Amino acid sequence: MSSSLIRGKYVVCGVVDRHQATVIEDGAVFQRDGVIVDVGGHDEIAKKYQPDEVIGSPDDVVIPGLVNSHHHVGLTPVQLGSRDQALELWFATRIAGRTVDPYLDTLYSAFEMIESGITTVQHLKGWVPAPLANVEAVIGRVLDAYDAIGMRVSFSYALRDQNRLVYQADADFQRRLPDDLAAELGAFLRNSALPLDEQLGLFEDTYAKYNGRDRTRIQLGPANLHWCSDQALAAVRDISDKYQAPMHMHLVESPYQKEYARRRGGGTAVDYIHAQGMLGPLMTLGHSTWFTEGDIEIAADTGTHVCHNASSNLRLRSGIAPLNRLDARGVNVALGLDEAGINDDRDMLQEMRMVLKLHREPGFDDNVPTSPQVLRMATANGARTTPFGAEIGALEIGKAADLVVMSWRDIAYPFLDLDIDVTVIDAIIHRAKTTGVKTVLVAGEPILRDGRFTRVDKAAALDELAAMMVRPRSDDELRRVALSRDVLPHVRAFYDGYLDAETRDPFYALNSRR
């Protein structure tokens, strides 16, 4: 097979703790057949091995491949006509989005992810129209796109069997609507629903078909508490247990979801799914924005992971997750870009930079994010939320050779003083831009080399996507535009008075956490 030596002025092997990372100056990684064989000083590694090729240079910095632990789509909601607004209204506007070719759509965001140093993605697909054969075809096209571009993917299909538009049974919500609109919405919701047994079978079939691919793993996606009946939650828990397959579940993304959980079970959403036996190292809770102190304790005690989707929470008015308290309690927190970050793209370097600063509470205590902590969230912590686990997330002997070669000059030119207090990791988190990402390796293979994709023609794929999107709207798309517009005021009315004044107060979220 093939081997390579990847060198850098700095090789960032991994994070030790919230203040230290292992960084080798003038370092190198030697990989053979996709597995890291050795890591050390460049001269020593170069003497020991005869690589087929040398990648990187003394002007570069080498870091572990980044993990985007929460991802859904290619073309962003804004690109498809939904502007940022409160999550619950935004759901209704998403009905109007145009149908997008799943293969080209997946490539589109994969280009952006890889160009920002992401080598592994947790892809949570959902909301594909029935019948089952259509859902299966879409899943196949998504996974074929990752296979084509060479990216590592942990995939799940979002499982939902109730409350498809608001936090109430579909039939009850339809009764609030004029008859013709109720019928229109009913038809739309039926067309977006698979029976629970088909959804469970879909996991088993997808697992059997794709989990064996080298860079693909299949896991479970119970979509959110309000979207899952007790029967669905129990079934997902049992399948996860049987396959030892991780689960990724949106939870308490917004204050409305916190209130929904109270109405459903009398406690928090975490209490509810804990009682269902769903928590533990196989569970990642996406968002977790409105966790209480008690929720944080339960997550820590059970070894449940959290995925922090900071940009998404800001964009959809969901709030700010209690990252500092989660970290202090030792909860494993990953990073996710969700639909898109602040730049309306999938720029993990920018997301890390924002997370570093978003949680800077006033004061002098060591309780705010550090650069190594944020890097670990985007590498090893994220890895632990996927079935790849300890195979990825650091540059160490025996791990997969997933790594990113970035221009150090892009970060440090014309001057950067590392003699006083700023470390290499600080410099990367504060200053690294996608323009400096040169070469990205997955399993030892350069899938981006000197800024060019090696397996897929990016310009041709984007041209093809653009050409497909300019066609006139279909009748189905026109109907969905009208449905979204007509149903929106009723969605807004449903949530009128849903929250009491105390729960709506942002200081309640940030400071009380009861």
Contact footprint for Zn ion (CB under 5 A): 338
Using CB atoms, what's the residue nearest to Zn ion? Answer: 338
| Phi, psi values for residue 465, rounded to 5° | -65, -45
**Per-residue tokens: 21:** 């990372």
In the complex, the smallest distance separating the C-beta of residue 290 from Zn ion, rounded to whole angstroms, is 15
Question: Rounded to whole angstroms, what are the CA distances from 348 to 21, 148, 216, 246, 334?
Answer: 19, 22, 21, 23, 12
Query: If phi over 0 gives left and psi between -120 and 50 gives alpha, with beta otherwise, what is residue 393?
Result: left
In the complex, the smallest distance separating the C-beta of residue 142 from Zn ion, rounded to whole angstroms, is 15
Contacts of 130-136 spanning 24+ positions with Cβ under 8 A: 130/190, 130/191, 130/192, 130/193, 130/194, 131/194, 132/194, 132/198, 132/202, 135/194, 135/202, 136/202, 136/205, 136/206
In the complex, the smallest distance separating the C-beta of residue 224 from Zn ion, rounded to whole angstroms, is 9
In the complex, the smallest distance separating the C-beta of residue 286 from Zn ion, rounded to whole angstroms, is 6
**Is the Cβ–Cβ distance between 118 and 67 less than 8 Å?**
yes
Beta carbon nearer to Zn ion, 30 or 90: 90
Spell 241-263 as b/e; 16+ CB within 10 A means b: eebebbbbbbbbbbbbbbbbbee
In the complex, the smallest distance separating the C-beta of residue 254 from Zn ion, rounded to whole angstroms, is 12
Beta carbon nearer to Zn ion, 45 or 283: 283
Which residues have a Cβ under 8 Å from the Cβ of 459 and sit 6 or more positions away?
A: none
Beta carbon nearer to Zn ion, 338 or 402: 338
In the complex, the smallest distance separating the C-beta of residue 270 from Zn ion, rounded to whole angstroms, is 18
Euclidean distance between CA atoms 343 and 496, whole angstroms: 31
**Is the Cβ–Cβ distance between 299 and 267 less than 8 Å?**
no
Question: Rounded to whole angstroms, what are the CA distances from 369 to 272, 406, 447?
Answer: 30, 23, 31
Beta carbon nearer to Zn ion, 4 or 304: 304
**Is the Cβ–Cβ distance between 437 and 38 less than 8 Å?**
no
Beta carbon nearer to Zn ion, 227 or 494: 227
Euclidean distance between CA atoms 278 and 232, whole angstroms: 12
State whether residue 323 is helix, strand or coil. Answer: helix
In the complex, the smallest distance separating the C-beta of residue 172 from Zn ion, rounded to whole angstroms, is 25
Euclidean distance between CA atoms 298 and 357, whole angstroms: 27
In the complex, the smallest distance separating the C-beta of residue 491 from Zn ion, rounded to whole angstroms, is 19
Euclidean distance between CA atoms 429 and 21, whole angstroms: 13
In the complex, the smallest distance separating the C-beta of residue 8 from Zn ion, rounded to whole angstroms, is 34
In the complex, the smallest distance separating the C-beta of residue 158 from Zn ion, rounded to whole angstroms, is 9
Beta carbon nearer to Zn ion, 93 or 370: 93
Beta carbon nearer to Zn ion, 338 or 410: 338
Beta strands in 375-473 (DSSP E): 403-407, 437-442, 445-449, 452-453
Beta carbon nearer to Zn ion, 112 or 338: 338
In the complex, the smallest distance separating the C-beta of residue 180 from Zn ion, rounded to whole angstroms, is 32
User: Nearest CA to 447 among 124, 138, 154, 120?
Assistant: 120
Beta carbon nearer to Zn ion, 161 or 338: 338
**Is the Cβ–Cβ distance between 511 and 289 less than 8 Å?**
no
Beta carbon nearer to Zn ion, 73 or 149: 73
Beta carbon nearer to Zn ion, 337 or 401: 337
